[in-house]
């Protein structure tokens, strides 16, 4: 299961023919206590880089930009009642949605873990 990353601090992980999407530990730490998540609708079409979900922390509102184009197959409805899961387990229970990608190119072009680590390094 390969996990890849975006410069907007989303992660995308292959899960069979779907891709699971969430935000990275760095992102949840920057946002602080997350109090509200608005997820996309199942069967909603997402294009690369457009807003797929809204995240609100105590401090501010942010968004999840879709790291790949495709159609939403499943959403993590648990986040609607327990948005703090994103803080507690950003790359586990705090996943946002699963998408059926419209091709492989988007995913292939994302950063791998090493490149994302270098990217984070460049921010500090």
Partner 1 sequence: MNDTESLKHTPLLDLHKSANAKIVPFAGYAMPVNYELGIIKEHLHTREKAGLFDVSHMGQISIQGNNAASLLENLIPVDIQSLSVGRQKYGLFLNEKGGILDDLMIINRGDEIILVVNAACKTADFDYLQTHLGDKLSIRKLDDKALLALQGPMAGTVAERVSGEDLSDMKFMNVREISFQGITCLVSRSGYTGEDGFEISVANEYVTDLARMLLAESEVELIGLGARDSLRLEAGLCLYGHDLSQDTTPIEANLNWAISPKRRSSGERAGGFPGSDIILSQMPKNVSRLLVGLLPQSKAPVREGVTITDKDGNVVGEITSGGFSPSLGYPISMGYVDIDYATVGTELLAMVRNKPLPVNVAKSTFVPHRYHR
Decide whether 36 or 105 has the Cβ nearer to partner 1: 36
Q: Are 54 and 5 in contact (CB under 8 A)?
A: no
Decide whether 45 or 56 has the Cβ nearer to partner 1: 56
Using a 10 angstrom Cβ sphere, with 0-12 exposed, 13-18 middle and 19 or more buried, the burial of residue 44 is: middle
**Smallest separation, CB 30 to partner 1 (Å):** 9
Q: What does the binding site for partner 1 look like in residue numbers (CB under 8 A)?
A: 32-33, 35-36, 38, 54, 56, 58-59, 61, 80, 123-124
Distance CA 57, CA 101 (A): 29
Q: Are 21 and 11 in contact (CB under 8 A)?
A: yes
**Smallest separation, CB 31 to partner 1 (Å):** 10
Decide whether 1 or 123 has the Cβ nearer to partner 1: 123
């Amino acid at each position: 299961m390969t996990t890849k990353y975006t410069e907007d601090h989303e992660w995308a992980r292959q899960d069979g023919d779907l891709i699971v999407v969430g935000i990275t530990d760095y992102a949840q730490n920057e946002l602080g206590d997350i109090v509200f998540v608005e997820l996309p609708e199942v069967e909603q079409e997402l294009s690369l880089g457009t807003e797929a979900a809204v995240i609100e922390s105590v401090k501010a509102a942010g968004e999840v930009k879709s790291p790949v184009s495709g159609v939403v197959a499943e959403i993590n409805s648990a986040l609607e009642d327990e948005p703090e899961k994103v803080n507690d387990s950003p790359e586990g229970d705090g996943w946002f949605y699963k998408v059926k990608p419209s091709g492989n190119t988007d995913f292939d072009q994302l950063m791998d873990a090493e490149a994302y680590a270098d990217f984070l390094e460049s921010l500090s």
